[in-house]
Amino acid sequence: MNERDHEFGHASVEKTTPVSVTGLCFLAITVAACTPDRDPEPPPEPAPPARSTPELQVIVVGSGTPLADPARGGPATAVAMGERVLLFDAGAGVLRGLTAAGSDPSRVAHVFVTHLHSDHTVGLDELLFGAWTIGRDRPLVVHGPDGIEPMVAGLQAAFERDVAIRAGGLEGADPRGATARTVVVEPGVVHRERGIRVDAFAVEHGSWEHAYGYRVEGAGRVVVISGDTSPTDAVVDACDGCDVLVHEVYSTAGWRARPEAFRAYHAAFHTSGEQLGRLAARARPRLLVLTHLLFFDQPPAQILEEVRGHFDGEVVIAEDGERY
């Protein structure tokens, strides 16, 4: 009983005849019996969950090179936002790499090719016809440098009979999924879709006239994919503090132990661990992911040491199936 109740009860005792305990009990029962039943107030409706924008994620589909490494598929990197998946390059084993990483290959509607080296394109037939056999029912859009059109046309001619049997026979496959539309890439904006923007920028890849890196922006994140390149200022400009920089690399120590002609080729076409460390210090990514890994008989720790000798940010060696 609080103070106010105490005072009220004291005043009542002075003005009325004392009531027995039995009477008080009878009174309480009577009041309770005469009080109409009331349904309890329903609990408040829970607030609907806030709708959040899916995060832009990098998926390592293949982190390998032309060298046959059973633990690494051919070069391929995906950028996903929710159920939408954009693929960058299509190396060997791309269909299995996507599936192992938890992405449905039949949902990939766009692939962006950095350049036309075979290790970056040999999986285009898998992506075009293999993903069709497991459910893609719309054309695949293939973005790439000059020369991408005859490459894709050649693949369609090569698999013409396969398509005819699958679409016209008992399988009854939708023939639209076995078709492709090619888009020749030039520097600048190359794709937009529902909150995602993709820009291409030219890189230096030896004697290739046209080679590109890609910058992907969406959901407040920026991802830059170098493609194959020697150290290039364009990567620094495209990243400029980006969230994730996915960059190719070879071991400086392993390279130094190789013959002169070998060293000359890789110096013109690719980026060493030491060079990448210096480049990353200028590009300032929050996370640097090392891919297209040329170890040259060196342990992975050697490449990390070379990069970290010049870049004090976060660095990881890509492993197929990982997400960032």
**Which residues have CB under 8 Å from 181's CB, separation 6+?**
139, 140, 141, 142
Please write the tens of the pLDDT for every residue from 57-84.
Answer: 999 999 999 998 999 999 999 999 988 9
Per-position b or e across 175-205, b if 16+ CB within 10 A of its CB: eebbebebeebeeeebbeeeebebbbbbbbb
Q: Would you state the pLDDT for residue 177?
A: 92
Closest CA to 120 of 3, 196, 225: 225
Task: Give me the CATH number covering residue 237.
Answer: 3.60.15.10
**17 domain-assigned:** no
Tokens for 279, please give them.
């480049």
Q: How far is CA 237 from CA 133, 226, 245, in A?
A: 40, 12, 12
Reported as a pLDDT band with limits 50, 70 and 90, residue 40 is low
**9 domain-assigned:** no
**61 domain-assigned:** yes
Domain count, the chain: 1
Average model confidence (pLDDT) for the chain? 88
One-letter amino acid of 96: R
Tokens for 56, please give them.
């832009």
Which 8-state DSSP code applies to residue 42?
A: P
Please write the tens of the pLDDT for every residue from 83-121.
Answer: 899 999 999 999 999 999 999 999 999 999 999 999 999
Share of the chain above pLDDT 70, in %: 84
Reported as a pLDDT band with limits 50, 70 and 90, residue 282 is very high
Chain CA centroid to CA 179, Å: 25
d(CA 155, CA 140): 13
Range of the domain at 218: 56-317
Reported as a pLDDT band with limits 50, 70 and 90, residue 173 is confident
HSE-CB of 291 using CA atoms within 13 angstroms: 35
Reported as a pLDDT band with limits 50, 70 and 90, residue 194 is confident
Average pLDDT over residues 9-14: 37
pLDDT higher at 249 or 1: 249
Q: CA 217, 223, 225 angle in degrees (round to 5)?
A: 125
**Which residues have CB under 8 Å from 69's CB, separation 6+?**
none
End-to-end CA distance of the chain: 61
**157 domain-assigned:** yes
Q: Would you state the pLDDT for residue 43?
A: 57
Q: How far is CA 17 from CA 13, 23, 59, 131, 303, in A?
A: 7, 12, 85, 93, 97
